[in-house]
Structure 1
Amino acid sequence: MNKTPSIYDISFKRATELDIDRLVEIEQQSFTVPWPEEAFYNDIVHNRFAVYIMVECNWEVAGYCGMWLVMDEAHITNIALLPQFRGYKLGEALLRKVMFLAKEAGAETMSLEVRVSNKPAKSLYKKLGFQEGGIRKNYYTDNYEDALVMWVNL
């Protein structure tokens, strides 16, 4: 990326089956235990509750956010940005977009899990109104780190 992204360079789109390879690539560069391709395929093709939104910057896919919309609740399954796009507030823009779409779809609350050690993510979530709701002990299988459950009223 040659320049700092500006608001004019950012767009969003709903991921389809054709985007699964790109989602897997982002996932592999973002997490120590990435979701397999089959998980994305099942969510995008078969799970009527799942929605995946991709953020594009300078006409290049920069990241994605997946959520499940069930009744009046939205749950963030994953949110990830490629390393070269971090630090430009794209994660914030993406999460704001997903929160808007969830509310538009009738969700009243949104929840997610985050590693207790992930200070940048927790800071972003708090900035957007998420509150701490509890701990899931040994949630992450790579190192058995606890997950902090966070939620927000939309």
Structure 2
Amino acid sequence: MLKKFKALFPKPPFKSAGYPKRIYPGHAAWFVREVTNDDIKALLAVERNVYHGKLPWTKSAFLSELISPLPHLYLCVEAEAILAFGGCRIIGNDAHITNIAVDPDFQGSGIGTFLLQELEHFAKKNGCLTMSLEVRLSNRDAQRLYRKLGYVSRAIKTAYYDQTNEDALDMVKYID
């Protein structure tokens, strides 16, 4: 019976990474910590800013990821409010980046790179050999960032995004 309800309780924080912790990209003092169910409204606000009013993920999609029994890590960066978030789910020996977003006012500040590096650390701790993600074909800035961090293109997924039918570029990083 307890197994049925295990998914309803938040998993313990990823303690070995020392969350929450203070980070200093540029001159600002920001904190990184694990996302909780109470943060979903703020994550949706970041998405609205990034996607010009649209919401690629719903509240239930975030909730589903946060209570998943699969190993996962979702982090947010905040000052007075959440400015960015990112997360991955481990399936087999792959850490799949499910979602990452940085408020447009803070893009280019190193937060996206920082989040991806933290997720890679989590992937390595869990024995992953690869990290994978999908990115919109139109999102050239994100593709440049991923390539800079060692991701390579694998394939194009036609009409991958439901709302727009936009194609996605499937990318992978092979972890040493």
| Cα 1:7–1:14 shift into 2, 3 Å | farther
Preserved CA contact (<8 Å) 1:9 1:59: no
Match of 1:153 in 2: 174
SS in 2 for 1:135: strand
Match of 1:30 in 2: 50
Return structure 1 stretches of 4+ with deviation > 4 angstroms. none
| Cα 1:125–1:7 shift into 2, 3 Å | farther
SS in 2 for 1:80: strand
The aligned runs of 1:15-94 (5 Å cut-off) are: 15-31=35-51, 32-56=54-78, 58-94=79-115
SS in 2 for 1:18: helix
What displacement does 1:47 show? 4.0
SS in 2 for 1:114: strand
The aligned runs of 1:139-150 (5 Å cut-off) are: 139-150=160-171
Q: Please, what TM-score do these two structures have when normalized by structure 1?
A: 0.87
Q: Please, what TM-score do these two structures have when normalized by structure 2?
A: 0.77
Match of 2:155 in 1: 134
Output the amino acid matched with 1:137.
Answer: T
Aligned positions, number: 150
Preserved CA contact (<8 Å) 1:33 1:142: no
SS in 2 for 1:12: strand
What is the percentage of aligned positions where both structures have the same residue?
A: 35
Whether 2:123 is the aligned partner of 1:102: answer: yes
- Structure 2: 5+ residue runs without aligned partners? 1-23
Kindly indicate whether structure 1 or structure 2 has the higher relative contact order, using CA contacts under 8 Å at least 6 residues apart.
Answer: 1
Output the amino acid matched with 2:71.
Answer: F
Preserved CA contact (<8 Å) 1:76 1:111: yes
SS in 2 for 1:27: helix
